[in-house]
Amino acid sequence: MKKVSISDIARKAGVSVSTVSFVMNDKAVKMRISREVIEKVENVAREMGYRPNQLARGLRTGKTKTIGLIVENISNAFFATLAKTIEDEAKKYDYKVVYASTDNDDDKARELLNMLSQRQVDGYIITPTLNLAEDIRRLQAESKPVVLIDRYFPQHSEIPAVLVDNYEGVARGTERLIEKGYKKIALITIETEMAHMHDRINAYYDVLNRHSIPVSDSLVKIVPYNSSREGALDQIVQFLSKAGSDIDAVFFLTNYLGVLGIEAIKKLQIKVPEQLAVLCFDDNDIFRLYTPTISVIKQPIAEIGQQAMASLIERLKQNGEEVAAVTNAPVKLIADLVARESI
């Protein structure tokens, strides 16, 4: 089969060879080629199965058509699904994705940024660790587009982010528990200084205060982030066992804590929801399969991935010259309350 050339694309699209070259080499915006023509050329190239030599293109243009995706833990159901969505979206734009996990470790995150920089990725989608803001700002200063997902830096509004409205999600969940008659609501979360988790915790306290429900720190269990699975499970078992009848509902603020919570509840032979109502932030297949099914605040994972990719592509098309003109206001999506049998 004859290899498709840019001349073949030009003939079929009815444009000049130079126009196709500008589009294929990400110079169309700079050369003031219309969006309509760009899309026409891209569609024809895709239909004809055109596959550019990425190595040669990278040397010529400085673009590798690859994106670096850094998440907290790729084995976590939320991040795995998010990564797959981003990979599928990237394919639509003829980009490849290289991804890795930080394990919420600043040093590891910086090593990954360095590795991806050496691979000359064109842009980054990042679930940041606590102290990564300055490293990300340096990437931006080097005209490398960055979009944050899942979490953000409130003090650095110049770094764009796509995430859910964590405060609204937990507030709505806590309100629903109160509406159902639960007044002794325990909270189980992880130890972290990240803003998105503070938003969740603050929502819990604010809703209880609005309803004049006594707020007790004894009803809040904070599990250290680096706890082993067995260690975290033991802590949840001990907390629920000690709380006993002092609580009538429990709200897990991450899905993996919720999964451990189900195991703890089963071990303690607690009846759900007769003895204890259960709600979890973020969904998991286990929550739908468990009996009774577990109610959740469900994040719109597909929409997060799609919007993050679209935001990054928008910045990549600026060729590093007009990135400042693109709005950096964080995109906050609404999480759905999925009420199942556990509340």
Kindly report the CATH class assigned to 6-52.
Answer: mainly alpha
User: 207 and 274 in contact (C-beta within 8 Å)?
Assistant: no
CATH T-level assignment (fold) for domain 64-163+301-333: Rossmann fold (3.40.50)
Q: Is the pLDDT of residue 326 over 60?
A: no
User: Would you state the structure tokens that stand for residue 82, as one six-digit string?
Assistant: 């998010």
Query: pLDDT per residue over 167-219, tens digit each?
Result: 999 999 999 999 999 999 999 999 989 999 999 999 999 999 999 999 888 99
Predicted confidence band at 322 (pLDDT cuts at 50, 70, 90)?
very low
User: Would you state the structure tokens that stand for residue 302, as one six-digit string?
Assistant: 């597909």
Q: Which residue, 337, 334, 336, is CA-closest to 304?
A: 334
Q: Domain spans of the chain? A: 6-52, 64-163+301-333, 166-298
Amino acid at 68: G
Query: pLDDT per residue over 99-147, tens digit each?
Result: 999 999 999 999 999 999 988 899 999 999 999 999 999 999 888 999 9
Say whether 166-298 and 64-163+301-333 share the same fold.
yes
- Confidence (pTM): 0.80
Q: Which residue, 246, 263, 232, 252, is CA-closest to 295?
A: 252
CATH architecture under which domain 166-298 falls = 3-Layer(aba) Sandwich (3.40)
Predicted confidence band at 60 (pLDDT cuts at 50, 70, 90)?
low
